[in-house]
Amino acid sequence: MREKKKAVYGGQAIVEGVMFGGRKHAVSAIRRNNGEIEYYKEPLQTNATLQKLKKIPFVRGIVAIIQASINGSKHLNFSSERYEVSPEDDEKIAIEKANQKNTIATYLGISVLAVLSFLIGKVIFTLVPVLLATTLKSFFSTDFEQVIVESLIKLLLLLTYIYLVSLTPFIKRVFQYHGAEHKVINAFENNLPLTVENVQSQSRLHYRCGSSFILFTVVVGMFIYFLVPTNPLWLRIIDRLLLIPVVLGIAFEVLQFTNLLRNIPVLKWLGYLGLWLQLLTTKEPSNDQVEVSIASFNYLLSLEKNHDEKILEFLKNNQLQS
């Protein structure tokens, strides 16, 4: 009998917790200031059009990025609101929220803001290296040299930014939860029981990480930019902006490809660039942080299992009636 394919799960570090996403749900678990773990869940919205787009190579990456930005912002908003709140104030806050109108426009606003934030950040990260490289044209004048310099500046800005923010205690804890998220996924994919000891024995790095994706956009962008001119400046800027979805789409496919090769000797090295960047974006978590990550993932698994059981029961009842 053919072995059933293991489901693929992804996650994200949030404030004092971890979010995991499955096929039908996304859940978060955070550590409250009294030591208790609190959960938050959201059903994943989908439709036939999105499902079709997610099957098209290069297009599916754009869809995945947009969905991740929208879903991630909701869970990040939950964690940032709740982790510092004293449990004694929960009842008061619940009453205040009950008196507020949670409209569709509110959720839509959060989603739009998340996507816009990502796009604005991507535009800045794309154009600043262009402008800096242009100032060095007296030393590096050819198109080839300009693209190399631009890419090196982009890489330097990325590494510098990540290193500097990682020095702050707040971001360091987020990066520790990032490591806890990867460890849980690695333990699950290696068929290990999700205990703190087993999870802590796993690597804090993972081939499908968004950090790797960011680095791949730099590398992919460099090769694509070789195909377009760097002069005049206005054309170079327009090219870079128009090519953003192209770079994102191809980088996503590279990320998926390196993940497929991660257990193949020699070829697995293709993903090492992304893993090296994760040495900055992840930190070794404490046992308490791993407990939160395990709790979040187990909650997701239970929701996904209940959903599958309901579908099977529905299909079974329909077969009996027909």
Taking the domains of the chain in order of start, what are their residue ranges?
A: 10-86+101-321
Give whole-number Cα distances, 215 to 79, 154, 156, 250, 267, in Å: 27, 10, 11, 12, 18
Q: Give residue for tokens 């068929």.
A: 191
CB distance 229 to 240 below 8 Å: no
The predicted pLDDT at position 45 comes to 76
pTM of the model: 0.86
CB distance 297 to 20 below 8 Å: yes
Q: Which two tokens stand for residue 126?
A: 């794309």
The predicted pLDDT at position 2 comes to 45
What is the chain's pLDDT, residue by residue, as a tens digit (322 residues)?
A: 444 567 789 899 999 999 999 888 999 999 988 888 999 998 887 777 878 888 889 899 888 888 888 888 888 888 888 877 766 666 555 555 555 555 544 455 555 665 667 678 888 888 999 999 999 999 999 999 999 999 999 999 999 999 999 999 999 999 999 999 999 999 999 999 999 999 999 999 999 998 999 999 999 999 999 999 999 999 999 999 999 999 999 999 999 999 888 888 877 888 898 999 999 999 999 999 999 999 999 999 999 888 665 555 544 555 545 4
Angstrom distance (rounded) from CA 143 to CA 147: 6
The predicted pLDDT at position 77 comes to 85
The predicted pLDDT at position 213 comes to 92
Residue 112's identity, in one-letter code, is V
The predicted pLDDT at position 35 comes to 87
The predicted pLDDT at position 80 comes to 85
The predicted pLDDT at position 101 comes to 53
The predicted pLDDT at position 34 comes to 85
Rg, the chain, Cα only = 22
The predicted pLDDT at position 175 comes to 95
* Of 194, 193, 180, 195, the residue nearest 18 (C-alpha): 180
Angle between helices 143-166 and 169-189 (to 10 degrees): 100
Three-class DSSP labels, 270-321? HHHHHHHHHHHHCCCCCHHHHHHHHHHHHHHHHHHHHHHHHHHHHHHHHHHH
The predicted pLDDT at position 1 comes to 40
Q: Give residue for tokens 């590279």.
A: 254
